[in-house]
Amino acid sequence: MTTTAITNIASLVTNDPSLRADSPLGLVRDAAVVIEDDRIVWAGESSKAPATDNAVDAGGRAAIPGFVDSHSHLVFAGDRTEEFNARMSGRAYSAGGIRTTVAATRAATDDELSANVARYLAEALRQGTTTLETKSGYGLTVEDEARALRIAARHTEEVTYLGAHIVSPDYADDPAGYVELVTGAMLDACAPYARWVDVFCERGAFDGDQARAVLIAGRARGLHPRVHANQLGHGPGVQLAVELDAASADHCTHLTDADVDALAQGNTVATLLPGAEFSTRATWPDARRLLDAGATVALSTDCNPGSSFTSSMPFCIALAVRDMGMTPDEAIWSATAGGAAALRRTDIGRIAPGARADLVLLDAPSHVHLAYRPGVPLVHAVWRRGERVL
C-alpha cells in the first residue's frame, strides 16, 4: 500500500482531543495528515509527520472531517416549488404536501428515483458531505417502500425504513390498519435493505403508542430506532426515543425541561435540522439549551422536497451559529462527530488514526469561515475513503 501525506494545512480539525487537550476539536495548527488505502494512519503537526510515498500541498488551507449528514429523504420524485412559493408569499396553499410527493414517487420508475438519489448525493459531496443517511417514506405501500430502500441501499450504507412517515392515503380511514401494515408485511419486505427504523411521532402523524409499536417491531427485526420528535409541538417523541435507546431524536424544536434532561442523561443524540425551520419560518431549536445541559447535538440538512430542500451542511452550520446559539466550534463538531454519533459510528466524523479517510480542504485558513462567510462555496477538495473525489 502507498501512503499519501496532505501537508501545509493551516488548521486541522481532528475531533480528537488527545491531540490537543485544550481543544474539543483537537485543533492542530501547521498540520499534516497521512492516508494509507482508505484510512487515516497519522495526524498532527507537520514537523513530526512521517515519510510517505506521495504528498499533496494543502496550500495553507484548513482541513476538516467530511460532513456526516445523518438525516435526509432523498428517494422521491416530483416538485413542490408552488407549495414553497405560496408559503414564502403568505398565501394559502391546499395541495397535498407529503401526499403530493407520495403520488409522484409511486409514479416514477426505478431509474428515475435512482438518478435523483445519485444527483443529490453528488451535490452533497461537492459541499463536503462524505456520509449521508437517507430514508424511505414517500411510497407508503409494501412494494413502494421496499423499492425505495432497495434503491437507497445502492447509494449509501445508512438506510432508514420510514414507512411510518404519515398514514398512507390508502388508509386514511383506518390508521390502526396502516400501523399493522407498517409493523407487519411492509416491515418484512423492507428490513433486509435497512439499518434503521424511524417514525414521525407528531400530532397528525403517529401518536406515542403507535410510534412505540413501530419502533419495537423494527427493533425485533434487527433495525435500530431513530425518531422524528417534537418538531411541530410538544409531544412524547423525545421521551420515547430515549426510553428505547434510539440513536437520535431528530428536530427537537419544542422541548420541555424533562425532555432536555432525558437527552442529557441518555445515549440518544439530539439532531437539529435548521434547514426545516429556515424553509418553514418556524421557531428555531435552542441548541444552546441542549448543549449547556450536556446533551450530544448533531446537525443535519433534512434534505427533502417539502420542508428543507437543501443538501448543504455549510448552510446549516451558518444557520446554527446565527440563529440557534451555537459557536462555530460547536457547529462544526455537530456536523461531523455529532452526525457520526447519531449514526453510532466511530470510524467517521474525525481525523485520527484508524478513522476512515474522509476529509475536506476549505478555501479558507480556518473552519470558522463556514459560518463567517455563509453562502460562499468554500470546499476546495474532498477525500472519501482515501480517494480524492473533488
307-320 pLDDT tens trace: 999 999 999 999 99
Q: What separation in angstroms does the CA of 72 have from each of 26, 263, 331?
A: 28, 22, 18
**From CA 93, how far away is CA 87, in angstroms rounded?**
7
pLDDT (0 to 100) of residue 19:
82
Angle in degrees, 0-180, between the axes of helices 208-220 and 175-183, rounded to the nearest 10:
20
In degrees and rounded to multiples of 5, residue 132 shows phi and psi of: -145, 125
Provide the sign of the torsion angle of the four alpha carbons 112, 227, 297, 351, taken in this order. Answer: negative
pLDDT (0 to 100) of residue 95:
54
**β-pairing verdict for 379-384 and 387-388:** antiparallel
* Contact in structure between 14 and 27 (CB atoms under 8 Å): yes
pLDDT (0 to 100) of residue 93:
61
Which H helix or E strand runs over 267?
Answer: none
pLDDT (0 to 100) of residue 96:
60
pLDDT (0 to 100) of residue 91:
82
pLDDT (0 to 100) of residue 1:
85
Pick the closest to residue 241 from 216, 277, 221, 217 (CA basis).
216
* C-alpha cell at position 305: 422536497
* C-alpha cell at position 238: 423525545
**From CA 386, how far away is CA 279, in angstroms rounded?**
35
**From CA 61, how far away is CA 8, in angstroms rounded?**
8
* Contact in structure between 5 and 33 (CB atoms under 8 Å): yes
Strand partners, 154: none
The pLDDT averaged over each successive group of 10 residues in the chain (390 residues) is 96 92 89 98 96 97 98 96 90 73 97 98 98 98 98 98 96 97 98 98 96 98 98 97 98 98 98 97 97 98 96 98 98 98 98 98 98 98 98
pLDDT in tens, 342-384: 999 999 999 999 999 999 999 999 999 999 999 999 999 999 9
